[in-house]
Amino acid sequence: MNGLLGLKPATRALTLLGSALLLALLIASQTGTLALGPWQLITGSMTSYDWQIWTAVRLPRLFLAMLVGSGLALAGAAMQGLFRNPLADPGLLGVSSGASLAVGLWIVFPVAAFLPDAWTWQGQMLIACVGGWLTCWLIFRLGKNGQGNMLWLLLAGLAINTLAGAFNGLLSYVADDQQLRQMSLWGMGGLGFVRGSELAVGALVMLPGLFLLLSVRKQLDVLQLGDLAAADSGLDAKKLRQKVVLGTALTVGVSVALAGIIGFLGLMIPHMLRMILGPGHRLLLPASALGGAILLLLADALARTLAAPAEIPVGLLTSLIGDPYFLWMLARGRNRGDV
């Protein structure tokens, strides 16, 4: 079927999304409390002070938004494919709750007091990542390493997530007023303080995860046929599960470490794109990655401007937009008899 520009629909969709991403990048790079962006670059009206801010503050933030947005949405799409359930999201594997617990422990029991000053910030990021990975590994082990059906993984995820949540609640009780505020503010997500070096390390760990998830998209399509049919087609379901879990752990772990908890991207973006592009994972996964990057870029631009010169935590904005959408989707599903 050759439509616009003689391209196949899949390529057309991806090209459109790619262009939308460039547009979003342009818009996001120009917004903010500071009057600097590509326009100032082109007209040559950037001072050396502006240039310093542009490279040290604005650019890392834009790349972080694209990285985290694409990672979370891609992981979400892969999870929905793996669990064959459109309500699945990366949180099921416990990365977010594990990271929250780790950061809570870091804040309430300041081990950082024994480390040199520079380590407080990076230590927090590292502990969030490690906490997320440990929890994910624990769930995977309890979930029988991906053998059998998904039920074990789901139940293990449920149990561990609840436990982590309970410990987090205990920490909230023990924490003093300031520590409590620290913990809740971290939980709301924010992209504002990442340095280029931290972003580079994060990208180094996350990009293999992204590629791993993208590499299994055809297999996810086969999995949708059902366990028996998929096995007949020669699909190694156990290996697929391992790859998806590993990929999700890498992408979501780094995202949470760098940017805190940002909700609804993993749930919302695959849904929206599925309605437009259909359920095929071959297209849905890369499209979700692009869609996630676009949404987070724009949400972050809003976060920086709605209450300027202050900032709204970006995780709040994505949830504020996501929740009504989810409710609307449920209402529609009720009327149509499907989800």
Partner 1 sequence: MNPLLARLIAGLALLLPLTSFAADFSKQRVISLGGDVTEIVYALGAGDLLVARDTTSMFPEIANDLPDVGYLRQLSLEGILSFKPDLVLLSDAARPAPLAERLEAAGIKVARIPYQQDLAGVDLKVNAVAKALNLEKESKPLLADLAKQREQLTQLIPFKHLKGVFILSHAGMGAPMVAGQGSSADSLMQLAGLKNAIQGVNGYRPISTEGIIAAQPSTLILTQAGLTALGGKEKVWQLPGLQQTPAAKNKHLVVVDDLAFLGFGPRTAESVLALHTALLELHSVPKKVNTAARQLIP
Is residue 111 a contact residue for partner 1 (CB under 8 A)? no
| Choices 156-164, 180-188, 199-207, 239-247 (CB under 8 A): range interacting with partner 1 | 180-188
Is residue 233 a contact residue for partner 1 (CB under 8 A)? no
Is residue 320 a contact residue for partner 1 (CB under 8 A)? no
Distance CA 207, CA 15 (A): 21
Q: Are 82 and 270 in contact (CB under 8 A)?
A: no
Question: Which of 42, 113, 176, 335 forms a contact with partner 1 (CB under 8 A)?
Answer: 176
Site for partner 1 in 249-278 (CB under 8 A): none
Structure tokens at 84: 């064959």
Is residue 104 a contact residue for partner 1 (CB under 8 A)? no
Per the rule left: phi > 0, alpha: psi between -120 and 50, beta: everything else, 235 is beta
Nearer to partner 1 by Cβ, of 178 and 335: the residue is 178
Angle at 37 (CA atoms; ends 35, 38), nearest 5 degrees: 145
Q: Are 190 and 314 in contact (CB under 8 A)?
A: yes
Distance CA 62, CA 129 (A): 21
Is residue 60 a contact residue for partner 1 (CB under 8 A)? no
Is residue 121 a contact residue for partner 1 (CB under 8 A)? yes
Q: Could you tell me how far CA 130 lies from the centroid of its own chain?
A: 16
Question: Which of 28, 32, 223, 286 forms a contact with partner 1 (CB under 8 A)?
Answer: 32
End-to-end CA distance of the chain: 29
Question: Which of 70, 100, 135, 182 forms a contact with partner 1 (CB under 8 A)?
Answer: 182
Nearer to partner 1 by Cβ, of 48 and 335: the residue is 48
Question: Which of 118, 228, 337, 338 forms a contact with partner 1 (CB under 8 A)?
Answer: 118
Nearer to partner 1 by Cβ, of 251 and 255: the residue is 255
Minimum CB–partner distance for residue 1 and partner 1 (Å): 46
Minimum CB–partner distance for residue 323 and partner 1 (Å): 19
> Per residue in 247-280, is it b (16+ CB within 10 Å) or e — as a string?
bbbbbbbbbbbbbbbbbbbbbbbbbbbbeebeeb
Q: Are 79 and 88 in contact (CB under 8 A)?
A: yes
> Which residues contact partner 1 by CB under 8 A?
32-35, 49, 52-53, 56-58, 118, 120-121, 176-178, 181-182, 185, 190, 192-193, 195, 304, 307-311, 313
